[in-house]
């Protein structure tokens, strides 16, 4: 709006300038014509009084015209200065317009570039969202499978524990067998088994029915690994066959392992044995009863499944 007002003012000044010039030209022609008329009148015979009056009148008119002409020159100079000032202002405004346009174009270019980057980022985010959605669905599916497998596992372990409890309830009642559930699996503890004799560590006859009952149930759960652990009390060993309770505990575990494999038909792929010596006691070794409990074999039915 400010620029429009300046343009209108400048056009008005130019118009006035052109009009003033035309007016000055008209005054010049009139002054020249007056001088010609004056010269012609001097040549014509006129009465002296009328000639003097006319000359005086023309002289006054000429002086007035000269005064007006001088005023018009002053106005013309002022208008010219105003016009030049307007031209300069217009030039400055054009330069400012150009700078503003350049800034606008540059800003618009940056915005376009940012828009393209934003669209690319949005497309990448949508693609990532789709990928994550697929991964999330797979994770949910896997979680459902794990939950179902866990529920099935829990049901199976509950059934296994119930079957073992039912089969071994008489031995559990006498304290000969303990049945515990630990983080690693179900643990069947057979107390006081595999005594050391001259021919080595052997399975006692009274323990064989226990192992047979356990084996019968283990065969129904063929994908379960079985770890057999041997333990001793803390009394030093005096046999020449074993140098320490480590070897004796390992021999006890191996005796049970061989019996389950050879006599009961449990796959050797499912079986493993380890000896812990006297370092994991169930009871105090200060009494005969405590030492009897510590001389034991533990059959661990591991929670981890294997396919054979």
Asked if the structure places residue 122 within a domain, the reply is no
The last residue of a domain, from among 112, 145, 180: 112
Clarify whether residues 86 and 194 are in a common domain. no
Q: What is the mean pLDDT of residues 34-62?
A: 67
pLDDT for 24 beyond 50: no
- The residue segments making up the domain with residue 33 are 2-112
The last residue of a domain, from among 64, 95, 112: 112
Confidence of residue 194 (pLDDT cuts 50, 70, 90): low
pLDDT for 6 beyond 50: no
pLDDT for 55 beyond 60: yes
Q: Do 207 and 193 meet the contact criterion of CB atoms below 8 Å apart? A: yes
Residue with tokens 């390992």: 250
pLDDT, position 14? 46
pLDDT in tens, 71-87: 999 999 999 999 999 99
Clarify whether residues 174 and 108 are in a common domain. no
Burial class (CB in 10 A: 0-12, 13-18, 19+), 229: buried
Q: What is the mean pLDDT of residues 55-70?
A: 88
Clarify whether residues 181 and 301 are in a common domain. yes
Asked if the structure places residue 50 within a domain, the reply is yes
Clarify whether residues 178 and 301 are in a common domain. yes
Confidence of residue 115 (pLDDT cuts 50, 70, 90): very high
Asked if the structure places residue 282 within a domain, the reply is yes
Cβ-based neighbours of 145, under 8 Å, separated by 6 or more? none
Ranges 116-120, 196-200, 295-299: which has the least confidence: 196-200
Q: Label residue 220 left, alpha or beta by phi (over 0 means left) and psi (-120 to 50 means alpha).
A: alpha
Asked if the structure places residue 209 within a domain, the reply is yes
pLDDT for 205 beyond 80: yes
Q: Do 179 and 164 meet the contact criterion of CB atoms below 8 Å apart? A: yes
Clarify whether residues 174 and 107 are in a common domain. no
Clarify whether residues 31 and 107 are in a common domain. yes
pLDDT for 306 beyond 90: no
Asked if the structure places residue 220 within a domain, the reply is yes
User: Is the model more confident about 37 or about 59?
Assistant: 59
pLDDT, position 201? 76
Both structure tokens of 42: 């001097």
pLDDT, position 27? 47
Clarify whether residues 97 and 176 are in a common domain. no
Using DSSP bridges, classify how beta strands 196-197 and 185-191 pair: parallel, antiparallel or unpaired. Answer: unpaired
Clarify whether residues 177 and 264 are in a common domain. yes
pLDDT, position 48? 53
Asked if the structure places residue 158 within a domain, the reply is no
Asked if the structure places residue 34 within a domain, the reply is yes
* β-bridge partners, 291: none
CA distance linking residue 4 with residue 238, whole number of Å: 120
Confidence of residue 264 (pLDDT cuts 50, 70, 90): very high
**In the 8-state DSSP scheme, what is residue 262?**
I
CATH number of the domain to which 247 belongs = 3.30.1330.60
Relative orientation angle of helices 2-43 and 48-167, to the nearest 10 degrees: 170
CA distances from 82 to 7, 12, 13, 94, 282 (A): 12, 10, 7, 18, 115
- Strands (E) located in the chain: 177-181, 185-191, 196-197, 200-201, 224-230, 271-275, 296-305
Clarify whether residues 187 and 274 are in a common domain. yes
Clarify whether residues 300 and 183 are in a common domain. yes
pLDDT, position 243? 87
CA distance linking residue 195 with residue 256, whole number of Å: 12
Q: What is the mean pLDDT of residues 122-130?
A: 92
Q: What is the mean pLDDT of residues 248-262?
A: 94
Asked if the structure places residue 139 within a domain, the reply is no
The count of structural domains within the chain is 2
């Amino acid at each position: 709006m400010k620029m429009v007002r300046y343009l209108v003012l400048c056009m008005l000044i130019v118009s006035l300038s052109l009009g003033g010039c035309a007016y000055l030209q008209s005054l010049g022609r009139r002054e020249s014509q007056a001088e010609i008329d004056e010269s012609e009148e001097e040549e014509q015979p006129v009465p002296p009084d009328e000639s003097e009056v006319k000359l005086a009148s023309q002289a006054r008119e000429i002086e007035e015209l000269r005064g007006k002409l001088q005023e018009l020159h002053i106005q013309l100079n002022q208008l010219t200065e105003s016009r030049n000032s307007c031209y300069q202002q217009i030039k400055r405004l054009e330069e400012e317009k150009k700078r503003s346009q350049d800034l606008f174009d540059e800003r618009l270019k940056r915005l376009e570039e940012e828009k393209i980057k934003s669209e690319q980022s949005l497309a990448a985010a949508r693609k990532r969202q789709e990928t994550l959605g697929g991964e999330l669905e797979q994770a949910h599916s896997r979680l459902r499978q794990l939950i179902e497998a866990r529920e099935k596992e829990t049901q199976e372990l509950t059934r296994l524990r119930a079957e073992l409890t039912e089969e071994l309830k008489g031995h559990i009642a006498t304290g000969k067998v303990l049945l515990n559930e630990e983080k690693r699996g179900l643990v069947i503890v057979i107390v006081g088994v595999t005594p050391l004799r001259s021919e080595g560590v052997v399975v006692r006859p009274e323990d064989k029915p226990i192992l047979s009952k356990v084996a019968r149930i283990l065969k129904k759960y063929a994908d379960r690994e079985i770890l057999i652990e041997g333990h001793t009390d803390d009394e030093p060993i005096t046999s020449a066959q074993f140098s320490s309770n480590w070897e004796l505990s390992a021999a006890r575990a191996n005796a049970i392992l061989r019996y389950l494999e050879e006599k009961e038909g449990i796959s050797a792929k499912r079986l493993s044995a380890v000896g812990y010596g006297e370092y994991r006691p169930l009871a105090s070794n200060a009494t005969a009863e405590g030492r009897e409990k510590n001389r034991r074999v533990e059959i661990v039915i591991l929670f981890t499944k294997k396919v054979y």
